[in-house]
Amino acid sequence: MKKLLSMLLCAILILGTCTTLLACNNDKQDESTTAAGTKNDAQTTTSEATTAGDEQTTTDDKTETTDAATGETTEETTGDNGQPQEGDIIIKTAEDFINLNKRVIAQMAAWQNAETDEDIKKVEFLDGITIYFENDIDMSGYEWIPMDGHFIQNVTFNGKGHTIKNLKIIDPGEDRIPDIERGTDAAYDHGYGIIGNIYGGETTFKDLKFDTAELTANNKHCAILVGGVYPDDDNVGAVVNVENVSMEDITVNGRMPMDGAFTIRTACYIAVLFGNSEAYFKDCNVTTAYLSGFHNLAVFVGYDGTTLMGASNFENCNAFDVTMEFSYCQSSSYTLKKPFCFVSVFYNSTQWTDNIDEVAEAGNTYGNITFKDNISGTTLTPDNFRSWSEDSEDFQAYKNGKGFKDIPENRQ
């Protein structure tokens, strides 16, 4: 009997142990099933997300993009995202802006005066930076000297919606600016603007307003932003981007002596575009401007002398209340027949129009654009827009001492 009871107790213990083990195993299976279900759900969610499109993760300084089709991840540095990076420059006052100007001019002088390799190594080149404007600034009382693009290149001017008021860009003369000559044609190497000349690279002006700006210079291509845009030493063209930059009450005087051989082009934004360089304008507006020069004047690009078709591009740009005065009588060899509003091309184009046809197709508009001869003040029309002959009274008066046409009183 005792033996039977012992056997029964052992059986009960074994059965209990098996039941416990089975229960634990079932619990583990349930946990495994739950985990597997969660994992599958996650896989499904990820699959749906990538199927819908590329995944993108953005931080302050970079954007990572995962391609939906290949799964490859690419990383792009955002750069000018409104957050200054190392080396960027913050402009809060007019003094900050003029100090930037002095800084670059000083490096131009250091380059010009360098006598040894060690001297050259000390020269500072501002390359690839962004210049941020944190406030509206009033440049009254300051004079801006054009900066050579070799010393400030691949730069973005980010106005952040702010305004530069009363900017005065001057012709400083030979005693105040280093004569940095580049290329084989020194005559075409002198432009005046915030940046005198750009040589290759990519320069951007964005989200900036100019309220009253003036530039007067002799024998120079003149514009408020850039005088000349040229390829670099390897003949790689420069690119200039201008987006949401507006100008109001602008005066650009490209003045020239009667016996001067230099050809003056003027504009509000870029005076000349050469080689295989390009310019892109978007959402830019000009209201009230006075331009004077020799035989290539236009509101946005004074002269497109590039080797590319469509090098000057405009989208949603507008120009109103602009007067352009031509002093083409300097030489009877130039015959002007085609003034333009947005961009001017070679001087001997024969079709009369004040705009390139395709410009109007990209949402661009213009109005109240007046072309004048700046000796007699005559408004130019298809019938009288031509070069003065050397024996004309106006040309002789100019040749015999009239010189530059006086700047109108309201533009002095």
265 and 228 in contact (C-beta within 8 Å)? no
Query: Residue 36 domain-assigned?
Result: no
Is the confidence at residue 363, as pLDDT, over 70?
A: yes
Using only the alpha carbons of the chain, give its radius of gyration. 34
| 164, 204, 232, 366 from 154: Cα distances, Å | 21, 8, 12, 31
CA distance 230 to 278: 9
How confident is the model at residue 340, as a pLDDT? 72
229 and 183 in contact (C-beta within 8 Å)? no
pLDDT band at 36 (very low <50, low <70, confident <90, very high): very low
Q: Which residue has the higher pLDDT, 184 or 218?
A: 218
Does an H or E element contain 397, and which?
helix 393-397
CA distance 200 to 231: 5
Query: Residue 76 domain-assigned?
Result: no
Tokens of 47: 């699959």
Is the confidence at residue 392, as pLDDT, over 80?
A: no
Query: Residue 188 domain-assigned?
Result: yes
Is the confidence at residue 114, as pLDDT, over 70?
A: yes
Query: Residue 174 domain-assigned?
Result: yes
pLDDT digits (tens, 9 = 90+) for 315-341: 999 999 998 887 654 444 455 555 677
Tell me what the mean pLDDT of segment 71-80 comes to: 50
pLDDT band at 205 (very low <50, low <70, confident <90, very high): very high
Query: Residue 185 domain-assigned?
Result: yes
Tell me what the mean pLDDT of segment 186-214 comes to: 88
331 phi and psi, to 5 degrees? -140, 130
108 and 177 in contact (C-beta within 8 Å)? yes
pLDDT digits (tens, 9 = 90+) for 209-224: 999 999 988 778 899 9
% of the chain residues with pLDDT over 90: 35
CATH of the domain at 244: 2.160.20
The counts of H helices and E strands in the chain are: 4, 25
How confident is the model at residue 256, as a pLDDT? 63
Query: Residue 50 domain-assigned?
Result: no
Lowest mean per-residue pLDDT among 210-224, 242-256, 295-309: 295-309
Query: Residue 280 domain-assigned?
Result: yes
CA distance 51 to 348: 57
Tell me what the mean pLDDT of segment 75-101 comes to: 80
How confident is the model at residue 218, as a pLDDT? 78
217, β-bridge pairs: 254
Averaged pLDDT score across all residues of the chain = 72
Lowest mean per-residue pLDDT among 14-28, 111-125, 181-195, 278-292: 14-28
pTM of the predicted structure, to 2 decimals: 0.71
Q: Quote the number of domains for the chain.
A: 1
Angle at 386 between CA 385 and CA 392, to 5 degrees: 120
Q: Is 13 helix (H, G, I), strand (E, B) or coil?
A: helix
CA distance 234 to 160: 34
Tokens of 80: 């000018």
CA distance 279 to 38: 54
Beta pairing class for 191-192 and 226-230: unpaired
Domain span including residue 369:
89-411
Query: Residue 104 domain-assigned?
Result: yes
